[in-house]
Every structure is written in C-alpha cells, then in structure tokens.
Amino acid sequence: MSHRTRQLRVSSLARVEGEGALRIVVADGHVEDAQLEIYEPPRFFEAFLRGRAFREAVDITSRICGICPVAYQTSAWNAIEDAWQVPVDDRISALRRLLYCGEWISSHALHIYLLHAPDFLGYPDAVALARDQRPTVERGLALKKAGNAILELVGGRAIHPVNPRVGGFHRAPTAAELAPLAERLRHALDDALTTVRWVAGFDFPELQLDCELAAVHHPGHYAIEQGDLVTTTRSSFPRRDFLEHVTERQVPHSTALYAELDGRRYLTGPLARYSLNFAQLSPLARDAAAAAGLEATCGNPFRSIVVRAVETVYAVEEALRIIGSYDRPDPPAADPTPGAGIGHGVSEAPRGLLYHRYELDAEGVIRDATIIPPTSQNQAAIENDLRRIVSANLGLEDAALTSLCERTIRNYDPCISCSAHFLDLTVEHR
C-alpha cells in the first residue's frame, strides 16, 4: 500500500478552501473502488439563505463560485421568478443571455487554454505552454478577456456581478455602451474559430461515456440561461419535476452529495449539451464542429475540449447577435410581487446543469433552499471514468497514474468549492 499526504506550509499560499483526494482500491488486479473526495459549498449556502429576503439570493449565491457566479445568480432568479410567475420582458431575457455568454466565453477559454490544452501537448502546465507558445496563450487570454468585458459591462464587474437582480437588472446598458463590445467580440470570434481548429489537431485517448446525459433544453435556442430538461432517452420533463427524477444521496467519503437520474448515473455539461441540443447550435458552430471531426453527438470525455471550443464560438456569436439586435429594456427590471410559493430554476453553468429550488413565504423571505450543482450530478460519472482509466493502466507508476487521473478529472472541470488543491492519490493494493 502506498499512501501520500501533502502538508501545506507557509510557502503554499492559501487558495485552500477545500482539498480533493482520490482513493483507489485495487484488489486481485482489478479496481474495486474509485472515490473522488471533493468539498463543495452549496450546502453551507442553502442554510445561509434560509431566513434571507428573496432579493439577497442573487447576491449571496453569486459568492458560491468565482468561476461561475452568473450561473448561480441565474438559477436563483429563475427559481424565484418561477415561484411568483414574474413576467420577464424578452429584452431582459436577451440581456441575461448576453451576460451568461460572457461567463461561458470566460470560463471555457480559461479551461481550454490554462488547464486542458497542456495535457494534450505534453506540457506540465500552462506556464510551460506559455513559455513555448506565447502567442497561443495570449490568444486564449484575449478570448477570456472578451468574455470578462461582457461580464463587466452587463454585470457591473467581472466576478460576482452586482447589476443583475430578481426581475432583471438595476440598470440596462445603452446601445452606445454595447457598441465597442461588439467590435471586440468580432476579434474574439476569429480567436474562437482558431481555437476550434487548434484543439481539433490534438490526440485524444479512447474513452466512451457509458451513462445517461441530461441538459437544459429550450425550444427557441441552444439552452443556456433557461429552459426545462432533456435526457439521452429523449425523455423530457419540466424543471418543476426535477426532484422527482433527480435524487441525491450522501456518501461517507465526500461532503458532496451524489445525484442519480431516475436511479441511474448520469452526466451534465458540455458533452451532454452538445449531444442533446446539437441541432440548435448555429450553422457556424456546427460547421466548425464538423471541420474539427465532431459528429452530432460526442461521447469521448477527452474531446470535451473540442466541444468547449465549439460552444465558445457559439457563445461569441450569440453575444454578437444579441448586441446587434439590442433594444434597451425600459424599465430594466420587472417588479416581483412576493407571495407564498415554491419555485424551480435551472440553467447551464459552463460545467453543467445547475438547479435551484426556493420555498418563499408571503413576505418574500426564503424558508428553504435546495441547490444541486453540476459537480454532484457529475461525480458518479467522473468516478466511473476513473475506475475504467485506472483499470486499463494499472501497470503505471503512482506518479504517471496520478497524472492520468488528474487528466481524466480535468475533462470535467469539476467545481470543487472554488478552489481545491488536487490531487492526493491513494492506491491501496489488497
């Protein structure tokens, strides 16, 4: 049995909000168990939200995650507006979609360039990649900045946006304010298309998902900021039935809850969205996907980097489309009328489906909150991938095996409590 533990010392500055660990048990030459131990914040926030005024939910939940605050905000206002059937103007919905596109562009560019690409190119990390291929990394950072520019202009700032509220926005930008953004996004579209061509040339290990897929679906467009649910079996169900299909169970090794869809392991995120909603991608995004060798569905987790790149093209294009037909909403927000009720909200965070449920009283105070983040939904599928990857590579030394496991986890960019030091690997041979 080999077991390593890492100690944090003064030299290791704390982004230490959680710690990831992977425990693998090998018995008689086969993998008996693979447990990914992750810590995630929604449970704390669920408790923290109880007794708070509904208006606070948007600001509080945005603090759950520094990478996907808009996702948390969006699912929060979707749920509250669902409870009270708040009529939201199409122009406000468009502005929300623009904001969310900013988060997709920013998060996808960060993942593709700084985290995922080095794996395929044989670099230990993005720094080594930047030393060798500086223009490439600069392109990735420029793409990310274009996403941040949307977040800053529409959201008020790049992390934890302050402009959105239940019902809409505190202030809607003018068309003149959005114009320079369009110019920047036209360059970003070139960068995004170049990104697809770049990642398409990588070598991808063979691995096929063997689980159900689930994504938000909207009849009008590739679902990002609102919709209901669709799954691989093409069954669809309304968001209010989410908890009838998705159940969570606690496991001893993790503070994360494991979610199952109708009793089965399932996956949300880029591969699920792409495979379930492919027909709704723009012609440009579909063409880029085809040229990159993708078909109408994608089941290889290592190819998620290509899917993210295609989604980035789509998000930039969508942002340009929304700005191009922008009609400033006036007033910038609908005024919600509180009442006792229960609401459900879903949206597609960059890394997967995010569900919120709120129970509100007559004064608009939150009495109960349930937040099911993408990572707890994806955890069983990630562990299944790990089991299969480790089984096929038991001959590797610990270091090489750890690296392969990290790579497998990186396919999903799990939200691990907004920062976790990965990865302590324990391989137990029995």
Partner 1 sequence: MIALIGVGNEFRCDDGIGPAVIASLRDQVPAGVTLTITDGEPTQLLDTWAGADLAVIIDAVMCEPSVPGRIHRTEAVPQPAAMASTHGLGIPDAVRLARALDQTPQRLVIYAVEAADLGFGHGLTPAVAAALPNVTRAVLAEIRS
Q: Which residues in this chain contact partner 1 in the complex, by CB under 8 A? A: 6-17, 20, 41, 43-45, 48, 63, 65-67, 107, 110-111, 114-115, 125-127, 130-131, 134, 137-138, 141, 144-145, 148, 158-159, 406, 409-410, 413-423
Smallest separation (angstroms) from partner 1 to the CB of 354: 15
Amino acid at 193: L
| 3-class DSSP state of 131 | helix
**Residue 12 burial by Cβ neighbours in a 10 Å radius (0-12, 13-18, 19+):** exposed
**Residue 203 burial by Cβ neighbours in a 10 Å radius (0-12, 13-18, 19+):** exposed
With residues binned 3-state (H G I as helix, E B as strand, rest as coil), the percentages for the chain, rounded to 5, are: 50, 20, 35
Cβ closer to partner 1: 326 or 412? 412
Smallest separation (angstroms) from partner 1 to the CB of 186: 21
Phi-psi region of 156 (alpha: psi -120 to 50; beta: other; left: phi over 0): left
Cβ closer to partner 1: 333 or 416? 416
Cβ closer to partner 1: 40 or 225? 40
Residue 342 DSSP code: E
| 3-class DSSP state of 97 | helix
The count of other CB atoms within 10 Å of the CB of residue 344 is 21
How far is it, in rounded angstroms, from Cα 272 to Cα 351?
A: 10
Smallest separation (angstroms) from partner 1 to the CB of 290: 28
Cβ closer to partner 1: 81 or 413? 413
**What values do phi and psi take at 366, rounded to 5?**
-75, 120
Smallest separation (angstroms) from partner 1 to the CB of 409: 4
Cβ closer to partner 1: 20 or 345? 20
Smallest separation (angstroms) from partner 1 to the CB of 72: 12
Smallest separation (angstroms) from partner 1 to the CB of 136: 11
Cβ closer to partner 1: 140 or 329? 140
Residues in a beta bridge with 426: 3, 23
Cβ closer to partner 1: 92 or 381? 381
How far is it, in rounded angstroms, from Cα 210 to Cα 134?
A: 38
Smallest separation (angstroms) from partner 1 to the CB of 32: 22
